[in-house]
Structure 1
């Protein structure tokens, strides 16, 4: 069967949060405990069982967060994926200061964020290095969460061209069977008071989803929106996006739960 003839796999909605380097270890423990408690409440929406939820803490607290999730009081809370904010492209070796993808898998990590605009800008990461790390993540049985986005605001068509260069690099590296989550984050919208316009976001996401590289894959590709994403946004994006990748707007447990329920019920 030619790749273009593969039926599109069902796309389950997915929502998650990264704490970046904002939290202390104590705050991470408290935050995760609050989230898991809310997810275990008898009042929580049953719709939440129909979406995937992930939390990406810093590397030092990741193992502790895995333990918190594994000992959570409800099946929904125990289903939360714990992720990492970065990894290296090799599993082991003389790479002082780097993070091994095989060790991430060993300690219970399920998803790894790669290629964030801050990593590109501050640490010189490229499409090529991101693709190599994505390949390592897949090799170790985890899901790569690839941040993609155009640097400058422009037209939907030109933004899509820039984004697709990043997407192609990763998809070619991981192979057509691998599950991939793309986090579309226009670089110019990150950290702003408001997200990018919904018509603009939907236009880019639609074009990426309908591209030959994405549409023709055997493995699933889900596309979430990041970049100042917060409560109330998904209702306007649900026709195209599969979920949200949250930052500071979800750094309070109640705010995170509210957005989870919005996405699950939209």
Structure 2
């Protein structure tokens, strides 16, 4: 929940100038709903994709305050973040609702960025893998083989989001390697090797290099660092590891 439409328009213009022609990797921004019209307009002739931070899994109806995929598609939005930890823990979204959203986004030909991750309590009690397995199995229930590669998975340990704490590269790679193996069991190893898994959690230019070089980390789901010019630095760091 950052940037007014005026601020978002200016920042999108900066990104367009600095990384708007970057075709070697996928660069996506996900501003608040109210900023989407101006951001999609600024970025429409660039290589930068635009996503939303959430949706409601119905085309329309009496769901005051919610946004549908049809509204997003009309603006030219291509991605939707689903199941972000703040949606899970602040707004009480369940695995079942998140699964409904993932499938609805896919049915409407958009790309879900499906978020998973454990809390500090769950990690300290040795339940990290148990939690991740439950979130993946429930969140991807009913997603068919032909659709799974359209899903981007984002591992965001809740204890490392906005806290300044960062999972070590080894901790992140271990958890994301587990997720990749789990997807391999569900969909086959060939799929698991191709699916994109992002790391999210206090990413900055100072630590991203050590994370992105890890075997199971395909990119970043960036929070605070995406609100300033450091986002451009992160794009350039990621490009080195293509």
RMSD over aligned Cα atoms: 2.0
Structure-to-structure mapping, 1:10-29, within 5 angstroms: 21-29=1-9
Q: Which runs of 5 or more structure 2 residues have no equivalent in the other structure?
A: none
1:107 equivalent in alignment to 2:75: yes
Given candidates 4, 19, 24, the residue that maps to 1:39 is: 19
| Cα distance in structure 1, aligned partners of 2:41 and 2:57 | 26
Q: Is the 8 A contact 2:159 2:165 kept in 1?
A: no
Q: Is the 8 A contact 2:26 2:48 kept in 1?
A: yes
Q: Residue 95 of structure 1: CA displacement?
A: 1.8
Partner of 1:7: none
* 1:132–1:116 Cα change, 3 Å: same
Partner of 1:165: 134
Given candidates 107, 117, 121, the residue that maps to 1:149 is: 117
* 1:249–1:40 Cα change, 3 Å: closer
| Cα distance in structure 1, aligned partners of 2:205 and 2:17 | 20
Partner of 2:203: 229
Q: Residue 156 of structure 1: CA displacement?
A: 10
1:243 equivalent in alignment to 2:236: no
Q: Is the 8 A contact 2:145 2:187 kept in 1?
A: no
The CA deviation string for residues 143-194 of structure 1, in whole angstroms up to 9 with x for no partner, is 0001100012536973122112111122223322221111100011111123
* 1:122–1:155 Cα change, 3 Å: closer
Q: Which runs of 5 or more structure 1 residues have no equivalent in the other structure?
A: 1-20, 42-47, 72-77
Q: Residue 236 of structure 1: CA displacement?
A: 2.3
Given candidates 21, 42, 51, the residue that maps to 2:25 is: 51
| Structure with the larger helix share | 2
Partner of 1:213: 186
Q: Is the 8 A contact 2:79 2:110 kept in 1?
A: yes
The CA deviation string for residues 70-106 of structure 1, in whole angstroms up to 9 with x for no partner, is 14xxxxxx12110001101111222222111122122
Q: Residue 39 of structure 1: CA displacement?
A: 2.0
Q: Is the 8 A contact 1:156 1:200 kept in 2?
A: no
Q: Residue 216 of structure 1: CA displacement?
A: 4.5
TM-score by length of 1: 0.81
SS in 2 for 1:49: coil
* 1:215–1:225 Cα change, 3 Å: farther
Q: Is the 8 A contact 1:232 1:262 kept in 2?
A: no
* 1:234–1:157 Cα change, 3 Å: farther
| Cα distance in structure 1, aligned partners of 2:165 and 2:16 | 28
Q: Which has the higher contact order (CA 8 A, sep 6+)?
A: 1
